[in-house]
Structures are given as structure tokens and as C-alpha cells.
Chain A
Amino acid sequence: MTNLVRHRLFWPTVVLVVLLVSNLIFSDNFFRITLQDGHLYGSLIDILRRSAPLVLVALGMTLVISTGGIDLSVGSVMAISGALACLLIGDLSNPDAVGPVLLVIGAAIALCLVFGLWNGFLVAVLGIQPIIATLILMVAGRGVAQLITDGQILNVHSAPYRVIGAGYFLGVPVSFLIAAVAVGLTVALTRRTALGLLLESVGGSPTASRLAGIRARRITIMVYVFAAAFAGVAGLIYSSDVSSADSNAAGNLIELNAILAVVLGGTALTGGRFSIAGSVLGAVIITTLDITAVSVGVPVETTLLFKAVVVIILCLAQSATFRAKVFGRFGSGSRSGSPRAEVAA
């Protein structure tokens, strides 16, 4: 029992369950999933579908943070990838042909890879602090996106492109499948190979890692490329969902939500140990929180306050020191600053 409570993901899971159950009080068919025009339909499906972009961005952010870095530019990269894809699709002679649309998607992601390399180059080669290095692209990238769309909202009418964000495969949302594959690949790469160990070692101490023979620089560049690529895919999902590119709103402030998701999931901003499952859980909690605010009918003026209160409760619950101070005397001998259980995601 104590082991369960000490598990790093125990409190986030509790909050998610409480959120879901409290929805049930306000709308009794919250858990109902039906078939609508051949695809799954229901609030839970909405949560899965709408979590996808944040899960992807948080995934990249987890890797970056595990090396002790941070990437503020993910929102701008999202805007750029959506803007470029919509611009190119608008120029296609037949936007409903699958081949050219796939090429466009490839081009958008390729551009994002270049931006990732740029971030990695600034951080790993020039040694600029990550928060400043990625701030450059955060500010300038939004401008690049606006330049691509000419400051307007670009609309596209392309059936294949729509599938990414609003489509279904065997009744399951495609955006959810994309996020699931990305999570699966990342878990396999970091937990089945030595990569995860190397990441944690670079995050723990870059110098010691280098002296131990790890190519820290290469690893650092790689995580920024990963983050940008995931952000690019998230941008495609975001813009495909409404078949348009809005360079002002796309990915706006998502970097903060992603960092929050990572932190909620129990990864420390100082680098080192990281939890992919935790970040995914964090992203799902944030999306559920958004949906709950609307479905419970929290007034617009207090929505942000509502979210803040839930996040604060979760953070306090996760703090071992806080738990020991408040519940210590009633608890079953749990010591303050108890060692956290080692978890493989």
C-alpha cells in the first residue's frame, strides 16, 4: 500500500480519476461511448483526440528537459509546420490526391527538423543557455509563420490532410494513433536501448558524461531535433483538425502547458531522471481539465483560477515534504523526504 502511494504516478492518477468522476456528476453519460457514422464518439474519445498535440509536444519536452535543457520554441514550430503545410496544399493542383499531400507533410516536418538542428546547434555547439537559445526561435518563429500565411488564416480543402487531425482509422481517432505510435517509439528507444541512460547521464552532469566517453553534444542536438519534429507533427494535427492554419493561435502558450505536463509527471526541471508515462499522464490531465471546465460550466472569468487550483493541489500532493507535514502524524510511519520509488516508464 505504501509502495503504491509512493509511486511517482500515484497522485497524478488520483487527480485524473477524480476529474473524470466529477464529470460524471454533472453529465451522467460522460463515460458513454457510442458509434457515430462509423467512428467512436463520446467525451472520453474527445479527451484522447484532443490530448494528442499536447502529448506529442510534452514527449519532446521530456527528452529536452531530461538533458537539463528546455525548449520554448515548440509553439512557434507548431505554427510554422501548419502554416507551411496549408500553404503548399493550397498550391496543389489536386489537393485530394494522397501522394502530393504526403510530400507536403514530409516537407513541413523536414523544415521542423532544420529548426530543431538550429536549436541544438545554439545550445550544444555555441553553448548558449537553452532558455535563451530557444527563445530566439519562439519569437522569430511566430513571425516566420505569419510571413508564410501573410497574417491571414489559410483555409485548405483536402480530404487526406483532414484525416490527420479529424479523421478516424477503424473508428479510432487518427491523431490519437499518431500520438500513441510516437509514445511507443520513444519508450522503446529510451528504455530498450542505452539511449535513456545516456540522456539521464547527460542531464545529470554533461562534463562527467563527456569524460566517461559519452558524446554529450550529439545527444543534446538530438533531443532538440526530436522536440521540433514532435512539435511539427503536433502542428499538423492542430491545423488539420480545422482544415486551416492560424499562425497567431496555433501552439500559442503550448510550451508552458507542455512544461507543466512534464513537471506534473514527476520529471525534475534540473535534468536527469525522466518519466515518459508521467508526461503523457500530465498532458491528459491538462486536456481533461480543459474539457471539465467547459462541461461542468465553470464561468469564463474563473476558468483559469479553477485550473490553477487543481494544479496546485496536485503539486502539493506530490510534494513528500508537504505530505509529511500535513499527514505525517496520521500516516503509517512514512518519513519526510522519503526516497522515491524507481520506476521504468
Chain B
Amino acid sequence: MLRRLSIAVAGGLLLASAVAGCGDSSDSGSGDGGGGGDKITLGFSQVGAESGWRTANTKSIQESAQSSGIDLKFSDAQGKQENQIKAIRNFITQRVDVIAFSPVVESGWGTVLKEAKDAGIPVILTDRAIDDPDTSLYKTFIGSDFVEEGKKAGDWLVKEYEGKSDPVNIVELQGSPGAAPANDRKSGFADVIKNETKFKVVASQTGQFTRTDGKAVMETFLKSQPKIDVLYAHNDDMGLGAIEAIEAAGKKPGTDIKIITVDAVKDGMTALSEGKINFIVECSPLLGPQLMDLVKKAKAGETIPQRVLTEEGTFTPEQAKEALPSRKY
């Protein structure tokens, strides 16, 4: 029995590693052999390649490194913290000029970042924060402000219903419970609309950031809520699922029910340009150019702010039509 069991486990590991191995191919996309002279070397450890958003994020960093003449050593952590710590230690041994990484989890970075600090290598966090109280461990954190995204969504709504006094019934599709984007997008939005009593969130449920759950929850909202004026979805995918539910109920998305979403991925932008979504708040993965700027400043020893926000906009249907042809993700 034990032998059979070990065969099974070995087989499973083999299969799993074969599958994992396929994801490795992007590792070698770095610069041209060690970079001579005074070229800046950047060691970057990515979370993985779990979504289209993340893939676009990786591409942006690789492309902008190349165009700004920075030698990029890229490492994919495949969603594991230990891989990321190993990568950072490697970067320290290789004496790169700057280390940047997108932390897989929030905690447990103290030791390895201390090593980087002792070696005199500046560290930049991208897209996700860490919860270490010692902020001297990293130079800066560049990424989106999810609360701000929620506020932008709320601002549009306030403007859209300016001067009207009829009550506005809002339903909300939240992201995965407990995730920072879900919590912050909810609270930012609630902060803005609480000033006016006509806005009322009549139902708010999780759609798990997925299209299927977005559709399923919206189907139930449509039957349990007598009147829905506005849908606020924490990402495009849930909004796209909800559109299908609204159409199946014989209503027109964007007209009978106004829709606001966050992210601005290509599918969402397409629906926006067709008028099925009314407004999208961007959450951009394209932080490469900004990151390279910070890398150069960090290398030169200039002072940089502790928190840098990604340059992000918002889109109306007209703007979506313009932006769509050049949309990368």
C-alpha cells in the first residue's frame, strides 16, 4: 500500500511540476548579458501570471525597462512567497542596483528586506503593500488607491443625478469578501454618496469578482428588488455577467439600469463603448514607465515620496470608443 501511495504522490508531483514548468518560459526575458558600464540593473519579482491584468502588468514592466535602457532581471514567483524571498536574496547576491517586487502576501518580509537594506539596495513595492511597521525597509510603494477608485465611481453618480430629487436605488456587486480592493472600493463609494439622502444602496452582495457569480447575484437582485436604478460592480467581469442577467430580464443595460464598474479591461471597455456600461473607473496595470522613473531616481539617491499613485483615469462611452483600438489588455 505504501509503495502504491508513493507512486501516486510521485506521479502527482511529476504532473504538477510539468504543468508549473510551462509557466516558467517568461523568466528569461531579461536584458542582454549582465549589462556593461553604468547601465542600471533592476531585479523584479512578479507575483505570477494569474490574470490578464497581471500579464499586462508584466508586459508593461518588461517593455518600459527595455525602452528606458534599464537591465531587467525578471523572476516569476508563481504565487509563492518562498520563491519571492529566494529571488530577492539572489538579487542581493548579484548586487543589482534596485529591487522591485509585487508582494504575494502582506506579512513576513522583515528579514529579507533588512538584508537588502544592509546591502544598500533600495527596494520598491509595486501594486500591493506590505504590513511591516518599519517603513524604512522600502523606498516607496507604487500602486492604485482602491478607496480613490470607489470615490471616483461615487462622484460620477452624484454628478449624473445632480438636481434630481427622486430616490435612486443602487445595487452593489462586491468583490471577494475581505480582499482589499473589495473593502476599499465599497467604502470609497459609500463615503461619497452618503452625503445625499436620495442615494440608497438597497442590496449589496459578493459576486466573487467573477462573471458567473455576477450574473447569478444580479438575477436574484432583479427578482427580489422592486426597483433598481443603478448597478455598481467592483470589477468589469461581474458587471459583464450582470449585463447578461439584465438583458434576460427584458431590460436594457445602460439605459433602464445605469452601470458603473472598475478596472477598464478590454471586454469592459467594449461593453462601455456599446453603451451597456455607463462609466468605468480605471485600475491600471501599466505602471512600468512610472516604475522605471522611480528606479532611476532611487539609483541616483534622490528623495522620492513614500507613496506613489498609479496614473489612472476614468472612461465614458465616448472616451472608450477612442481608447479601445489601442487597449493592451
Contact = CB atoms under 8 A, between A and B. Distances in A.
Interface string A109-122: 00000000000001
B66 to A, nearest CB: 22
Contacts of B203: 294, 297
A143 B267 contact: no
A337 interface: no
A345 interface: no
Contacts of B304: none
B15 A152 contact: no
Given A126-B7, A129-B5, A143-B16, A242 B205 contact: no
B205 to A, nearest CB: 5
A187 B205 CA distance: 37
A147 B224 contact: no
Given A37-B250, A132-B5, A152-B52, A30 B223 contact: yes
A151 B250 contact: no
Interface residues of B, number: 45
A106 interface: no
A295 B174 CA distance: 15
Interface range for A: 35 or more
A250 B211 CA distance: 10
B84 interface: no
A255 interface: no
A242 B215 contact: yes
Given A238-B212, A244-B211, A300-B174, A294 B220 contact: yes
Given A140-B15, A152-B55, A242 B212 contact: yes
Contacts of B149: none
Interface string B204-238: 11101011110111011101100000000000010
A281 interface: no
A135 interface: yes
B16 A242 contact: no
Contacts of B12: 132, 135-136, 139-140
Interface stretch (A39-47, A94-102, A191-199, A325-333): A39-47
A80 B97 CA distance: 43
A45 B197 CA distance: 36
Given A140-B16, A151-B51, A300-B177, A291 B210 contact: no
Nearest to A147: B22
B327 to A, nearest CB: 14
B50 A151 contact: yes
A139 B54 CA distance: 22
A42 to B, nearest CB: 7
Contact of A290 (B216, B244, B267): B216
A144 B19 contact: yes
Contacts of B4: 126-128
A246 B267 contact: no
Contact of A295 (B49, B177, B224): B224
A164 interface: no
A43 B267 CA distance: 29
B20 to A, nearest CB: 7
A235 B11 CA distance: 26
Contacts of B51: 151-152, 248
Contacts of B250: 36-37, 41
A241 B205 CA distance: 20
A169 interface: no
A26 B224 contact: yes
A133 interface: yes
B300 interface: no
A250 B206 CA distance: 16
B8 A122 contact: yes
Given A41-B249, A136-B8, A140-B16, A46 B220 contact: yes
Contacts of B220: 43, 46, 291, 294-295
Interface in A246-264: 246, 248-250
A27 interface: yes
Nearest to A46: B219
A342 interface: no
A300 B210 CA distance: 15
B224 A27 contact: yes
A50 interface: yes
16 contacts: A122-B8, A126-B7, A127-B4, A136-B8, A136-B11, A151-B50, A152-B52, A241-B215, A242-B244, A246-B210, A246-B212, A249-B208, A249-B212, A249-B213, A294-B217, A303-B206
Given A43-B223, A140-B19, 5 more contacts: A30-B223, A128-B7, A152-B55, A291-B216, A301-B177
Interface of A: 26-27, 29-30, 36-37, 41-43, 46, 50, 122, 126-129, 132-133, 135-136, 139-140, 143-144, 147, 151-153, 155, 166, 238, 241-244, 246, 248-250, 290-291, 293-297, 300-301, 303
Interface of B: 4-5, 7-9, 11-12, 15-16, 19-20, 22, 49-52, 54-55, 174, 177, 203-206, 208, 210-213, 215-217, 219-221, 223-224, 237, 240-241, 244, 248-250, 267
A-B interface, 7 closest residue pairs, ranked by CB to CB distance from nearest: A143-B19, A295-B224, A136-B12, A249-B210, A294-B220, A140-B15, A128-B8
